[in-house]
Structure 1
């Protein structure tokens, strides 16, 4: 009897375990079906399955047995369901390989087929011209027939796919190949055979390109637009048997058509496809038209300017909808570099004027896009505008300024951007000012380097050094001011900028004082004496500044620690200069003056600092 009762209980437990497994399978299938329905639905919606939540499996059903005799063995408790049985495990569908995903293989084959077909068409046209196959009219007619046939076939394939409720990349690749082939036909009849004027060829090319890009917009397929643009851009030199002004004009028209068709919104690959290859062909065309750069043409400038304009418009349009876009920054930078390169091969007048105009244009662009109604654009794009403006301005200065005033022009450029940062209180403009200031600082080093010994100082242009020192002092002052007034600058950066401005100001003041000494010495015929006097006065000036910082630090509670540290550090630098430079360089009376005056200033500073410190402690002790 006991054995039969144990068998019954065992069968009940096995039945409960089987029920748990069935519920787990049912719940997994329900979740998988819900996921598939959400993925295939056009509009996302919340789908609730009656089995979406795990249904607790019933416990083992046991029938109360008849009372057993007292001598019978105690009945074991029913086996409780385990955790794995109570909560069914989530079933995850295995991730298919890339070639098993829907449309993956079709997309790859379609793209490869489009590329190969376009290359074949271009090679056929080039070979037909080289070998004299057919008459030109027949070649062009066959090309037009091929282009129309491919576009028509693409519409047929897409209509059949829509009727069957599916979509693939095949019609996209076919249509892109057709439009690119048609565009190459236009290039041939305009640039190769010369049947139509250049203006008419550009108009026809624009119609073909716009129709293909509008179809891409209608189908909402970026791949169609990218293949159309890339195919026509890269294969145009094959048809024309080289690059030149005609190809440059064609790629500009194509880039403009791509911008008008979409505006770069949400299609970053199209932005790159219509900008980067086109700028490369413009540069190559400029080289091909004039290999020795003796008389470069002006058309590459117009082409590069148009590409830069298209890149800016597309980047601003995309940035207003996607604040994280970086493709627009890349296209603007590439097109701007190309534009500067086209100006760089010309003579000094045009080159300098072009650089200056680019600098001014991007500075105005930065100001316009930083405010409504156009902006504000993202920081990355604004920084790109500012960087282009700064680089172009520096190039304009180094290109057009006389050799004597090159450093002056660079420092003046940094001063202008620093003033703009203070006026606009823009962080981007402040960063541009910081970049130009770094370049100006390196350029300004030629002056202190020339004042190391009396011979090089005597041959140096002291008047220009004094002028540059005045400009550099303004840059240091406006830089510190700009960091204070611009919002969002960390406090640590503000402190470091003040310290850097003070150090720069001391170095600039020393150069200015020595320059004045040299100018006065030249006026009286004592250049060496003026040089020595200038260095001695510079050391004294540093020591006076150190004393002022020490006393000022005790009066300003908020800046006490920083001022005292700077004052002590400057005193140490002054003494180091006195022993390491002045002692070896100065002689006679000026060495004596430098040591005596510096020593007296040190003694006076120590005494005044002790008294000032005592006065500050008396109120504290009284409180």
Structure 2
């Protein structure tokens, strides 16, 4: 057999020179790419020209150059000429960029002219002035729709919104920015123009927030007008998002714009007194949560056709508004109770509808309520009689009881959302956490009720009752696990037995380490007798259950 000769690698061909087919053509620098420089020059031209219009309307007035009529007429004629020139240039070959720039400058200049006539010269009453501004903005975005040009609409809105504060800083400025926000809603329903969503919403939102901050610091008299402005921003933002997303359910930018529009009215309660602020927050929460709830009811979901991302935005805003309402309607000691009651509602809805967003809101409210309760009834307060008498009350007992209800609803909700898990580690951690929370809540409720009863031994009676309840809970967990011991050896059974034994140990530790030194007389005797009886029952049932299991297994073998 002949020896096989190794084959040599194929020779490398020469690298094809530039311009030869197959060669890589390096991308040109950004300044040499088609349309880049022309667009930059066009945007710069729009900005500089509009600044000139503002100087004509404002600075010339301050310097006394020309009269009011020449200034306004010159601005109007100049704007109209720019729009006309833009339409003419747009029709020519290669004139798209220049036509858009000229038309955008003209429409934005006309809008600023209307702002000046309304706020500087007082030639127009605000209502006709807003109507005229709406007409100018609608004409600008209408031309953008006709030309299918999002840049034209963005330049019109952005140019007018950015430079309007240089014309006026009165409250009317907010109305003119809201007019811009409103004028673009019909356009958004027809075209998916995400940048226009943000440009039409952000100026009104930012200006409203800054004005609210200035009013809070300066405390002027026009606060109610500012609240109405914030409500208008929210109404246009949320209403526009609903209309747009019904047409295009995948428009995430519309929901993002709605999220921005929601925020000013959340800040507005800082401007008014507490009762009015509470009513405002509660009403706002009701509207937003009603929008979010449409996705939870099948019939309403089919009618409203609101996508999930819009409902999440509304639900988030409504949850913050509800938090403000709860804060306004409760006092310091009752605030945790209100938070926990709201948490129970959210968690119940989450479990019933299997909705994880509602579960997240409920968890947040539960955490806030738990922290509020812990700040009132901390470990030192529960352990020292003097502090307990000073700080605890019937409201604290009600809050702790509500916390127990929230804990039960949360466990049910988790089972509805995630089912029964077979992971022993997860189940163990869950039940340990729930057990610790339950022991704290039971102790808080018992001691608070004892203190609130104004009895001489209320503090020690409360602790005695809590120890007995601890042991009763441990017995219930043990009985639950032992009853199912012969049928299954699931993680739940093991955790029930383990948690029952741990709570038993905790009850005994509390009985000997705290109650023995704190309780006295018949109360101490009653505590030891009751805990002893429960221990005897638990031990008897524990031994019998394992004996029955052993005899059954030996009989089977």
C-alpha spacing 1:177/1:573, structure 2 compared with 1 (3 Å): farther
Mapping 1:2-401, distance limit 5 Å: 82=10, 91-161=23-93, 166=94, 168-240=96-168, 243-263=169-189, 265-286=191-212, 292-293=218-219, 295-317=221-243, 319=245, 326-370=252-296, 371-378=301-308, 380-401=309-330
Mapping 1:510-521, distance limit 5 Å: 510-520=443-453
C-alpha spacing 1:160/1:110, structure 2 compared with 1 (3 Å): same
- Which residue is equivalent to 1:466? 397
Contact 2:165–2:173 (CA under 8 A) maintained in structure 1: yes
- Which residue is equivalent to 1:16? none
2:506 to 573, 578, 584: 573
- Which residue is equivalent to 1:418? 347
Deviates further, 204-213 or 390-399:
390-399
SS in 1 for 2:92: helix
SS in 1 for 2:475: helix
When Rg is computed on C-alpha atoms for both structures, the one with the higher figure is 1
Aligned equivalents of 1:290, 1:581: Cα separation in 2: 51
Aligned equivalents of 2:419, 2:464: Cα separation in 1: 42
SS in 2 for 1:471: helix
RMSD between aligned alpha carbons?
Answer: 3.1
C-alpha spacing 1:278/1:495, structure 2 compared with 1 (3 Å): farther
SS in 2 for 1:183: helix
SS in 1 for 2:410: helix
- Contiguous gaps of at least 5 residues in structure 1: 1-76
Contact 1:264–1:317 (CA under 8 A) maintained in structure 2: no
C-alpha spacing 1:131/1:412, structure 2 compared with 1 (3 Å): same
Cα deviation for residue 459 of structure 1 reads 1.8
Relative CO higher for 1 or 2, CA cutoff 8 Å, sep ≥ 6?
Answer: 2
Deviations 1:122-152 (A, max 9, x none): 1332111101111111101110111111111
Aligned equivalents of 2:415, 2:69: Cα separation in 1: 71
- Which residue is equivalent to 1:36? none
SS in 2 for 1:193: coil
Aligned equivalents of 2:148, 2:501: Cα separation in 1: 69
- Which residue is equivalent to 1:438? 367
Aligned equivalents of 1:388, 1:620: Cα separation in 2: 59
Aligned equivalents of 2:514, 2:161: Cα separation in 1: 64
TM-score by length of 2: 0.86
Mapping 1:597-616, distance limit 5 Å: 597-598=530-531, 601-602=534-535, 604-616=537-549
SS in 2 for 1:160: coil
Contact 1:296–1:346 (CA under 8 A) maintained in structure 2: no
C-alpha spacing 1:256/1:488, structure 2 compared with 1 (3 Å): farther
C-alpha spacing 1:572/1:331, structure 2 compared with 1 (3 Å): farther
Contact 2:431–2:495 (CA under 8 A) maintained in structure 1: no
Cα deviation for residue 317 of structure 1 reads 4.7
1:540 to 464, 468, 486: 468
Contact 1:265–1:317 (CA under 8 A) maintained in structure 2: no
Aligned equivalents of 1:488, 1:106: Cα separation in 2: 60
C-alpha spacing 1:614/1:350, structure 2 compared with 1 (3 Å): same
Contact 2:80–2:106 (CA under 8 A) maintained in structure 1: yes
C-alpha spacing 1:622/1:476, structure 2 compared with 1 (3 Å): same
Contact 2:336–2:370 (CA under 8 A) maintained in structure 1: no
Aligned equivalents of 2:472, 2:212: Cα separation in 1: 60
Aligned equivalents of 2:222, 2:392: Cα separation in 1: 37
Contact 1:510–1:535 (CA under 8 A) maintained in structure 2: yes
Deviations 1:507-550 (A, max 9, x none): 22222222232234x1xx41xx2211211221221122112212
Contact 2:284–2:318 (CA under 8 A) maintained in structure 1: yes
TM-score by length of 1: 0.78
SS in 1 for 2:219: coil
SS in 2 for 1:382: helix
C-alpha spacing 1:618/1:220, structure 2 compared with 1 (3 Å): farther
Aligned equivalents of 1:101, 1:137: Cα separation in 2: 45
- Contiguous gaps of at least 5 residues in structure 2: none
Report whether the alignment pairs 1:454 with 2:385. Answer: yes
Cα deviation for residue 464 of structure 1 reads 0.9
Cα deviation for residue 172 of structure 1 reads 1.9
Contact 2:161–2:177 (CA under 8 A) maintained in structure 1: yes
2:415 to 470, 484, 507: 484
Aligned equivalents of 1:235, 1:360: Cα separation in 2: 36
Cα deviation for residue 255 of structure 1 reads 0.5
Cα deviation for residue 238 of structure 1 reads 0.9
Cα deviation for residue 210 of structure 1 reads 0.5
C-alpha spacing 1:317/1:148, structure 2 compared with 1 (3 Å): same
Aligned equivalents of 1:576, 1:494: Cα separation in 2: 25
Cα deviation for residue 579 of structure 1 reads 4.7
C-alpha spacing 1:287/1:135, structure 2 compared with 1 (3 Å): farther
Contact 1:244–1:284 (CA under 8 A) maintained in structure 2: no
C-alpha spacing 1:144/1:294, structure 2 compared with 1 (3 Å): closer
Deviates further, 434-443 or 407-416:
407-416
Deviates further, 351-360 or 555-564:
555-564
